[in-house]
Amino acid sequence: MKNILSLKLLSSTFALSLLFGCGPNDNNINFDFTTLKKSKKIELNNKESKNKDENKINLKSNIQIKDLVPLKDKEQILSKIKFGKKDPFSEGESQSNKLNSNLKLIGFLNTEINKYVFVRYLNDEGSITEESIGGVNTNLLPMGAKVLSIDPENMKLIINFENENFIFEM
C-alpha cells in the first residue's frame, strides 16, 4: 500500500514538473520608465564654497522657520516653578520640598487655651501649636519652619517655610 502511494506521488510530481517546465517562457516585463520623475540636483562650484551654507539654509528654511516657536529664557521657566527642584536645568538629584513630602496631618484639637494640630513628620508623631518653630521648640517641623495659623473649623494649617506659605488641609 505504501509503495503504491509513493509511486503515485512520485509520478504526479514528475508530471507537474514536465508540464510547467515545458510551458511558454514569458519573461518579458514591460515597464515604462519615462513616467518616473527625476530628482533635482543642485551643483555648487568650488568658488561658491563660501556661499554653500547660505544656499543650504535658504533652500531648507523658506517655509519652516516661520512656523517655529522661540524658546523661553531660563528665568521665565524658573519663575513658574513652585515645588520640586529649584533649578530644572541643574544636574544632580531633585531637591524636593522637605515640608510637603514629609509632613502629614493627622487631626486637629481645639481647646480653650490652645489650638493643636496632630502631625507626622519623619516617622515622629505629635502635636504642634501656633507657637511651634522647627528646630527651636519642636522636631515635628523642618528647621526654620514656623506655624502661622491653625484653623480647626476649616481644618487648615498654614506654615511658613523658606519664605513661602504652605497651606495644609484635611
Residue 59 lies in a domain: no
Residue 109 lies in a domain: yes
Residue 160 lies in a domain: yes
Helix (H) or strand (E) holding 17: helix 2-21
Residue 155 lies in a domain: yes
Q: Give the side-chain half-sphere CA count within 13 A for 67.
A: 5
Residue 104 lies in a domain: yes
Q: What are the residues facing 124 on neighbouring strands? A: 121
Determine the structural domain holding residue 158 and report its residue range.
98-169
> Per residue in 88-128, pLDDT tens?
566 554 444 556 778 889 999 988 888 999 999 888 899 99
> Per residue in 48-79, pLDDT tens?
555 555 555 555 545 566 677 778 887 777 77
All three cell numbers of 37: 520623475
The side-by-side arrangement of strands in the sheet containing 146-151 is 146-151, 156-161, 164-169
Residue 16 lies in a domain: no
The residue type of 102 is N
Residue 26 lies in a domain: no
Strand-pair category, 146-151 with 124-128 = unpaired
> Closest Cα to residue 109, out of 77, 139, 152?
152
Burial class (CB in 10 A: 0-12, 13-18, 19+), 164: exposed
pLDDT of the residue at 149? 92
Structural domains in the chain (count): 1
> Of residues 165 and 37, which shows the higher confidence score?
165
Residue 61 lies in a domain: no
CATH number, position 158: 2.30.30
Is the pTM higher than 0.75?
no
> Of residues 21 and 155, which shows the higher confidence score?
155
pLDDT of the residue at 48? 52
